[in-house]
Amino acid sequence: MASEPPLVLAFDTSISMEATDVTPSRIVAAREAAHRFIEVVPAGVRVGLVAFDQTARVIIPPTTAKVVLDRAIDRLSLGEVTAIGE
């Protein structure tokens, strides 16, 4: 049986994620949604974490270690610029 391809969570870590148009803020809502997603990912499915603001960065390569992903999501910090088009 072939292994499943990994999933990748991509997080916008630009300063705009401080906005409160989503309660309490965009970044908090995104973190909570990511944590809920990780809870329901079937065992054995690899999930990676990428953050982007001025540049894109691999934070966690695809892994089955849900605790590692949860911790990394909580440690994401915001950058000043978004350059998605670049």
List, for residues 1-21, the tens digit of each pLDDT value.
Answer: 457 899 999 999 999 899 999
Collect all residues with Cβ–Cβ distance below 8 Å to 16 and sequence separation of at least 6.
Answer: 26, 82
Q: Look-up: residue for tokens 């949860």?
A: 70
pTM of this structure:
0.88
Cα–Cα distance measured from residue 45 to residue 63, given in angstroms and rounded to the nearest whole number: 8
Task: Output helix, strand, coil percentages for the chain, rounded to the nearest 5.
Answer: 35, 25, 40
Q: Confidence class of residue 85 from pLDDT cuts 50, 70 and 90?
A: low
* 80 pLDDT tier (thresholds 50, 70, 90): confident
